[in-house]
Amino acid sequence: MDNTVFAGITGRIRSMETKLLGMPKLESLSDASDFEGCIEMLKGTRYDKYINMPSYDEGLKIAVQDLYKEMHKMSPAREVVDIMAVKYDAHNIKCLIKGRLSDLNVENILIDAGTIPVPDLMRIKDEKNFKGIPNILARRMRESVKVYKKTHISNDIDVNIDRGTFEYMMEISKKSGMKYLTEYTSLIIDVTNIMSFIRLKAVGDELATFEKMFIQGGNIGYDIFSPFFGQSLDKFASKIFYTGYYKWANAISEYMKANDIGYLEKFRDDYIMDFIKKARYVSLGPQIVIAYIAAVENEIRMLRIILTGKKNNVKPESIKKRLRDVYV
């Protein structure tokens, strides 16, 4: 696809970027005297109307939904927004399948920001048909229910839907003809596989479990992981140093010292943001749209952390430790 199709949206997004909350603002919010003070400081920002709803958590969910509605209207290529929206499909599908199997109403926790409108997914729950659902996801949904009925392990649903989600992302990126979308998808797959590998080793799980969870389509093959599953994590760190993910070697070493998975989760999020930040130096292209979506999503996530912390009287220093890097 010719990047000139993004000429119109680029100027609008660059203008919108100036209204993003930077790290100084987020840290100031963390330092607010209390929850009410934090709310007061957000007056005049794009979040004013959302955080003043009866539930700020529900308000921030609506902010995410509004973001995707806006970006779908603005973007000259739907695939650029869809590649980011697929994660909400995954969340919604998991909730609906588990809700149906447990006879629970999960409608209030669904997020209508995916590629599949929530009303369409709700019809699946009620009518048990897959009309309008991408074939990859429909197949994984059927498999999830089938496997769960055999094992009664809810994580099997998550594993199946996650694999389907990444297959769907890769399908979207390849059909789009945009190299950046494929690069972004491969990065997310690789980072997901690295985190799964480390988490499973930490709890002493078996290689067979990792094999079941491993997602194809990344730049790091299964053969990079499998020989090190029964060895110490520092040996895996030495191996990954010689891949494009060399920065993870030091992060893994720091994780081993602290034995804190939260440290690695923060590193993962910041690592992805570093990749996305390259869009600041691009004049035209899908990178700019993806970067803006990621920036706002990250901002909303940080606001939820701050507001929840303030609501529960968490110390500012503790809140700041949980903040991720930001786009601006």
Taking the domains of the chain in order of start, what are their residue ranges? 1-54+183-328, 78-177
Q: Which tokens in the block code for residue 209? A: 């479990």
Does residue 289 contact residue 71 with C-beta atoms inside 8 Å?
A: yes
3-state secondary structure 170-211: HHHHHHHCCHHHHHHHHHHHHHHHHHHHHHHHHCCCCHHHHH
Residue 115's pLDDT band (boundaries 50, 70, 90)? very high
Q: Which tokens in the block code for residue 160? A: 């199946």
pLDDT tens-digit readout, 62-76 = 999 999 999 999 999
How many Cβ atoms are within 10 Å of 248's Cβ, its own excluded? 25
**pTM (two decimals):** 0.94
pLDDT higher than 70, residue 127: no
The residues, any chain, with a CB within 8 Å of residue 130's CB and separated by 6 or more, are 124, 138, 141, 142
Across the range 212-217, mean pLDDT stands at: 94
pLDDT higher than 90, residue 126: no
CA atoms of 260 and 257, how far apart (whole Å): 8
Residue 125's pLDDT band (boundaries 50, 70, 90)? low
Q: What share of the chain is helix, strand, coil (3-state, %, to 5)?
A: 75, 0, 25
Residue 158's pLDDT band (boundaries 50, 70, 90)? very high
- State the CATH class of domain 78-177: mainly alpha
Helix (H, G, I), strand (E, B) or coil at 235: helix
How many Cβ atoms are within 10 Å of 194's Cβ, its own excluded? 24
Q: Which tokens in the block code for residue 225? A: 């992981």
- What percentage of the chain carries pLDDT values higher than 90? 82
Check residue 328 and give its pLDDT. Answer: 73
Nearest to 71 by CA among 122, 120, 6: 6
Residue 128's pLDDT band (boundaries 50, 70, 90)? low
Can you spell out the DSSP letters for 276-325? HGGGGG-SSSHHHHHHHHHHHHHHHHHHHHHHHHHHTT--HHHHHHHPPP
Check residue 132 and give its pLDDT. Answer: 80
Higher pLDDT, 129 or 287: 287
pLDDT higher than 90, residue 258: no
Across the range 151-175, mean pLDDT stands at: 94
Torsion angles phi and psi, residue 294, rounded to 5: -60, -40
pLDDT higher than 80, residue 47: yes
Q: Which tokens in the block code for residue 120? A: 């369409």
Torsion angles phi and psi, residue 144, rounded to 5: -60, -45
Q: Which tokens in the block code for residue 259? A: 């034995």
The residues, any chain, with a CB within 8 Å of residue 133's CB and separated by 6 or more, are 116, 120, 121, 124, 141
Beta strands in 44-197 (DSSP E): none
What is the rounded average pLDDT for all residues in the chain?
Answer: 93
The residues, any chain, with a CB within 8 Å of residue 99's CB and separated by 6 or more, are 105, 106, 125
Helix (H, G, I), strand (E, B) or coil at 112: coil
Across the range 187-212, mean pLDDT stands at: 94
Nearest to 295 by CA among 280, 265, 273: 273
pLDDT tens-digit readout, 83-108 = 999 999 999 999 999 998 888 999 99
